[in-house]
Amino acid sequence: MAGERVLVVEDNEKNMKLFRDVLQAKGYRTLEATTGSRAVELAAEHSPDLVLMDIQLPDIDGVEALGRLRADARTASLPVLALTAQAMQGDRERFLAAGFDGYLSKPLNIAELVATVRQYCDGRGRCDTQAALGGAGEQQTEDGER
């Protein structure tokens, strides 16, 4: 890892601070967006190594933002992970089918977050981090969804 850039798209202030603090402590550089529209702009401008995308956002939702990223040649190949409190049966499959590269559910397991970011930034992505970690780690984020 050499200071990879991670775009965090999250409208909950406390969750954003937690993601920023954890990722920066691990040596990642962060970009931050609180809306889907701003995330699309930042991704096109900065080409981050990874995008962590909340689903429920105040303007366009994460699925629509993902669609815009995939439609733009500059951002079409960026790895984008769904980051959401929608953790009902079938949600993971629904987000993967929508085109997300992976899925993390809130409340977030911090060890899983760090491991997943590392995997995607190292180019290994699309792995089942829940199975790889055996569910280890503490649940530390707030839901943040409305």
Residue ranges making up the domain that contains 60: 5-127
> What is the number of domains present in the chain?
1
The domain that contains 52 carries what CATH number?
3.40.50.2300
Query: pLDDT, tens digit, for every residue of 88-139?
Result: 778 888 999 999 999 998 888 899 999 999 999 988 664 333 333 333 333 3
- Note whether residue 26 is domain-resident: yes
How many other C-beta atoms lie within 10 A of the C-beta of residue 74? 11
C-alpha 115/C-alpha 60 separation (Å) is: 28
Q: For the CA atoms of the chain, what is the radius of gyration? A: 14
**Beta carbons of 90 and 82 less than 8 angstroms apart:** no
Name the pTM for this structure: 0.83
